[in-house]
C-alpha cells in the first residue's frame, strides 16, 4: 500500500474539475511554465483533453515533477499522512532548508500524462536520493537497470547517453546489449521503491497520475553528501562539507533521542 488518496477520488475528470476550484489563470501559469509553451495559454481543461487523446504517435506533453504543495496545496489533505515506511526522512527538520530548493523536504511531486508519454531520459535520481513512486491512476511502464549495469549504460553524470532505450544505436553503444533490462507495469495502488543509484525511465500506457517522494537518510547519506559537495563550486566546497557534517551530527543525535 503506497500513498493513499482519500476515497480513490483522483481521476482525470476530477483533475479537470480542479479548474473550477481554482483560478484558471494560476493553472495556466503553472502549465505554461511546466511545458515551456511560451505565451500559449493552456488550461487544465485543454491539458486533460490532450492527455485523454494522447497516443504513441502523438503523445500529450507530460506534466511532471510538479511540487504538489506549492502548485496544488488543496490536494495535500488527500495524501496526508504519508505511509509510515517512507520514514525516516532527513530532508525535513531544523537546518534542512539549504537542501530543499530542489527537493522541497521530500514532499510529493505530481506527474500527469497520456498514452505514449515518456520520461525523457534514462537516469538515476540526482544526488543519490531514494524515491518512492506511487501510481494513483492509470498504468505506467517502468524500465530499470541495477547500479551494477552502469558501465553498459554510457553514463554522463546521472543520465545515460543511449537516448531512447527502445531504439539504441548498438554500433555507437555496443555495451548496452549487455545491460539487464527489468521492465514492468506499475498499476494503481502500487508503489515502486527506487533505491539510490538504480537507473530508470518510464512510458505511459494509459492516462496516468503518479506521485513521487524523495528520501535521504542514513542509508544513502554518504553518496548524497558526496554528490552535493562535489557538485558545489570549488570555493564553496569546504562550507558545504561543514554544513553537511553538522547536519549529519544533528540527525545522529536526534535519532538517538527518539
Ligand atoms: O514516473 C516517472 O515518469 C519517472 C519519474 C522520475 O524518474 C523522476 O522524476 O526522477
Ligand atoms: Fe527518476
Say yes or no to pLDDT of 35 above 60: no
The residue among 70 and 97 whose pLDDT is bigger is 97
Distance CA 168, CA 177 (A): 9
Q: Which domains does the chain have, with CATH numbers?
A: 6-217 (2.60.120.650)
- SS3 category, 147: helix
93/84 Cα distance (integer angstroms): 17
Instruction: Using the mean position of ligand 1's atoms as its centre, give its distance from the Cα of residue 239 in Å.
Output: 31
* 140 CA closest ligand 1 atom index: 1
Mean residue pLDDT of the chain comes to 87
pLDDT confidence bin for 149, thresholds 50/70/90:
very high
What average pLDDT does the segment 116-141 reach? 96
Check if the beta carbon of residue 237 is closer than 8 Å to that of residue 226: no
Residue in the block written with cell 539504441: 168
Average pLDDT over residues 200-210: 96
Measured by CA distance, the residue closest to atom 5 of ligand 1 is 119
Does residue 39 register a pLDDT over 70?
no
Determine the pLDDT at residue 102: 82
Measured in whole angstroms, the distance separating CA 80 from the mean position of its chain's CA atoms is 18
**pLDDT-derived band of residue 1, with 50, 70 and 90 as boundaries?**
very low
CA of 124 relative to ligand 1 center, distance in Å: 9
User: Using an 8 Å Cβ cutoff, are 191 and 135 in contact?
Assistant: yes
Quickly state the pLDDT bin for 101 (edges 50, 70, 90). confident
pLDDT above 80: residue 4: no
Q: Does 87 or 40 have the greater pLDDT score?
A: 87
Looking at residue 100, what is its pLDDT? 87
- Asked if residue 10 has its Cβ within 6 Å of ligand 1, the reply is no
Amino acid at each position: 500500500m503506497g500513498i493513499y488518496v482519500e476515497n480513490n477520488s483522483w481521476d482525470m475528470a476530477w483533475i479537470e474539475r480542479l479548474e473550477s476550484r481554482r483560478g484558471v489563470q494560476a493553472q495556466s501559469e503553472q502549465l505554461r511554465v511546466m511545458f515551456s509553451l511560451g505565451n500559449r495559454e493552456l488550461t487544465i481543461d485543454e491539458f486533460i483533453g490532450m492527455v485523454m487523446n494522447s497516443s504513441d504517435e502523438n503523445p500529450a506533453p507530460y506534466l511532471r515533477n510538479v511540487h504538489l504543495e506549492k502548485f496544488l496545496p488543496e490536494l495535500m489533505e488527500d495524501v496526508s499522512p504519508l505511509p509510515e515506511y517512507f520514514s525516516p526522512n532527513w530532508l525535513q527538520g531544523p537546518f534542512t532548508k539549504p537542501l530543499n530548493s530542489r527537493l522541497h523536504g521530500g514532499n510529493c511531486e505530481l506527474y500527469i500524462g497520456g498514452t505514449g508519454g515518456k520520461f525523457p531520459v534514462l537516469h538515476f535520481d540526482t544526488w543519490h536520493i531514494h524515491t518512492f513512486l506511487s501510481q494513483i491512476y492509470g498504468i505506467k511502464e517502468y524500465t530499470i537497470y541495477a547500479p551494477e549495469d552502469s558501465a553498459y549504460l554510457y553514463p554522463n553524470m546521472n543520465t545515460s547517453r543511449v537516448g531512447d532505450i527502445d531504439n539504441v544505436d548498438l554500433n555507437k553503444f555496443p555495451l548496452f546489449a549487455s545491460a539487464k533490462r527489468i521492465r514492468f507495469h506499475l498499476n494503481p495502488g502500487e508503489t515502486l521503491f527506487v533505491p539510490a543509484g538504480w537507473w530508470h525511465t518510464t512510458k505511459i500506457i494509459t492516462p496516468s497520475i503518479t506521485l513521487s517522494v524523495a528520501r535521504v537518510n542514513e542509508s544513502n547519506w554518504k553518496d548524497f553528501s558526496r554528490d552535493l559537495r562535489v557538485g558545489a563550486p570549488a570555493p564553496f566546497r569546504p562550507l558545504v562539507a561543514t554544513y553537511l557534517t553538522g547536519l549529519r551530527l544533528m540527525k545522529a543525535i536526534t535519532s538517538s533521542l527518539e
